[in-house]
């Protein structure tokens, strides 16, 4: 439980990673009331320094004593770290907002996107899960349409940037691109195959039915966040040679028919959404446009005439910001707002 205070002791676990870095930036940008910021990482990067406000903070090695006196712990250090340390933080009295997949589907852990289910955050037992990047941007765009017309089925194909994998993947795309432009051979390290000028229809590992973990996340988390077990979802997730921002081609079938204009009117005022949709004037979102931005950009809104009531949408957002760090801090802001 976060109690009302002037300012809070905040810990960031995984502070040297891509998302951890964004978390520190966003705490500062949004003037989150930080009394003290404690940064943690593994042995590999502990000792590095990170700038916050006018100070330079040294990243400490994570241990079981790290959370003493911490009010809010933002985790983005992978599932193993979250599995081991989120309960430690929670039992020290901190509220954990965890960016890994570890706790997301646990029935008593809220999975929260503040534009969609803000009040779910308030019923936590110490741990709140931050959804997967590809899920967050999709539900922000779909929630207002679901409220208006009830979504029955979603077919989504994703175009996901390498920053979703981490810094090493961004380096790999850069290095492979340089190598290919110099006619040198490419040696994949992070991804199983060449990613530069290529596409990989694999994000995560595959189950026996042939779906990837990313595809399962997109389906299961969407149902949990919308609170609708009955929504049917077919997801295909693909890694593309883009540094930042995930894009999604989303086809929905709704109970009530919405025209493209009605859908646009709804999206134009939806929280967290920027409608960017006038294709004849070349207005549609691209990953380069959305990089570093907070909103979920929606364009290419079209009626799908192949079903009685359907819509096609093109959804783009910064996977490190709204897809991860920003959403986590928005959850924290919701807790502050409701703090007794």
- Annotated catalytic sites, by residue? 133, 246
**Rounded to the nearest whole angstrom, what is the least distance from the CB of residue 314 to a copy of itself in the complex?**
5
The residues, ordered by sequence, that sit 6+ positions from 152 with a Cβ below 8 Å of its Cβ are 230, 231, 232, 253, 254, 255
Nearer to a copy of itself by C-beta: 233 or 296?
233
Nearer to a copy of itself by C-beta: 100 or 160?
160
Nearer to a copy of itself by C-beta: 126 or 166?
166
Burial of 76 (0-12, 13-18, 19+ CB in 10 A): buried
**Rounded to the nearest whole angstrom, what is the least distance from the CB of residue 327 to a copy of itself in the complex?**
22
**Rounded to the nearest whole angstrom, what is the least distance from the CB of residue 302 to a copy of itself in the complex?**
4
- 81 SS3 class: helix
| β-pairing verdict for 296-303 and 310-317 | antiparallel
Q: Please calculate the CA angle 169-173-176 and round it to the nearest 5 degrees.
A: 125
**Rounded to the nearest whole angstrom, what is the least distance from the CB of residue 10 to a copy of itself in the complex?**
33
Closest CA to 298 of 282, 314, 318: 314
Q: Please calculate the CA angle 278-318-42 and round it to the nearest 5 degrees.
A: 175
**Rounded to the nearest whole angstrom, what is the least distance from the CB of residue 299 to a copy of itself in the complex?**
7
Distance from C-alpha of 142 to C-alpha of 129, rounded to nearest angstrom: 20
DSSP string for residues in 153-188:
EEEEEEEB-GGGT-HHHHHHHHHHHHHHHTT-----
Nearer to a copy of itself by C-beta: 36 or 168?
168
Under the rule (CB under 8 A), what is the footprint of a copy of itself?
153-155, 157, 159, 173-174, 177-178, 181, 192-194, 197-202, 205-206, 208-212, 232-234, 236, 238, 240-243, 247, 249, 251, 260, 277, 279-280, 282, 284-288, 299-307, 310, 312, 314
**Rounded to the nearest whole angstrom, what is the least distance from the CB of residue 174 to a copy of itself in the complex?**
7
Nearer to a copy of itself by C-beta: 84 or 199?
199
Beta strands in the chain (DSSP E): 8-13, 34-41, 49-52, 55-58, 60-61, 72-75, 95-98, 127-129, 151-159, 232-236, 246-254, 273-275, 296-303, 310-317
Nearer to a copy of itself by C-beta: 76 or 247?
247
DSSP string for residues in 192-223:
SS--TT--B--SS-B-TTS-BHHHHHHHHHHH
Task: Give the chain's end-to-end CA distance (angstroms, integer).
Answer: 9
**Rounded to the nearest whole angstrom, what is the least distance from the CB of residue 197 to a copy of itself in the complex?**
5
Nearer to a copy of itself by C-beta: 107 or 192?
192
- As a whole number of angstroms, the longest Cα–Cα distance in the chain is 62
Token representation of residue 111: 């999975």
């Amino acid at each position: 439980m976060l109690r009302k205070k002037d300012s809070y002791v905040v810990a960031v676990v995984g502070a040297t990673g891509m998302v951890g870095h964004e978390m520190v930036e966003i705490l500062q940008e949004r003037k989150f009331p930080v009394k003290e910021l404690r940064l943690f990482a593994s042995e590999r990067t502990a000792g590095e320094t990170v700038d916050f406000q006018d100070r330079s903070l040294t990243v400490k090695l994570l241990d079981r004593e790290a959370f003493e006196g911490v009010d809010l712990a933002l985790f983005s250090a992978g599932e193993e770290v979250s599995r081991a340390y989120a309960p430690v933080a929670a039992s020290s009295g901190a509220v954990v907002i965890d960016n890994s997949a570890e706790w997301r589907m646990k029935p008593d852990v809220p999975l929260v996107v503040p534009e969609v289910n803000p009040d779910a955050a308030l019923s936590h037992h110490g741990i709140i899960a931050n959804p997967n990047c590809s899920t967050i941007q999709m539900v922000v765009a779909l929630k207002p349409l679901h409220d208006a017309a009830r979504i029955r089925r979603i077919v989504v194909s994703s175009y996901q940037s390498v920053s979703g994998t981490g810094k090493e993947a961004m380096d790999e795309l850069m290095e492979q691109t340089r190598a290919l432009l110099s006619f040198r051979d490419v040696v994949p390290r992070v991804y199983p195959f060449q990613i530069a000028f290529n596409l990989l229809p694999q994000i995560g590992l595959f189950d026996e039915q042939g779906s990837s973990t990313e595809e399962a996340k997109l389906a299961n988390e969407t149902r949990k966040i919308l609170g609708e077990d009955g929504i049917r979802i077919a997801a295909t997730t693909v890694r593309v040679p883009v540094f930042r921002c995930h894009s999604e081609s989303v086809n929905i079938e709704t109970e009530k028919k919405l025209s493209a204009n009605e859908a646009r009117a709804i999206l134009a005022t939806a929280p967290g959404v920027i409608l960017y949709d006038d294709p004849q004037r070349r207005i549609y979102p691209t990953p380069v446009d959305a990089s570093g931005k907070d909103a979920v950009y929606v364009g290419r809104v079209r009626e799908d005439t192949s079903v009685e009531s359907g819509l096609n949408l093109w959804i783009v957002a910064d996977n490190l910001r709204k897809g991860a760090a920003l959403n986590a801090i928005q959850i924290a802001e919701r807790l502050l707002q409701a703090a007794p």
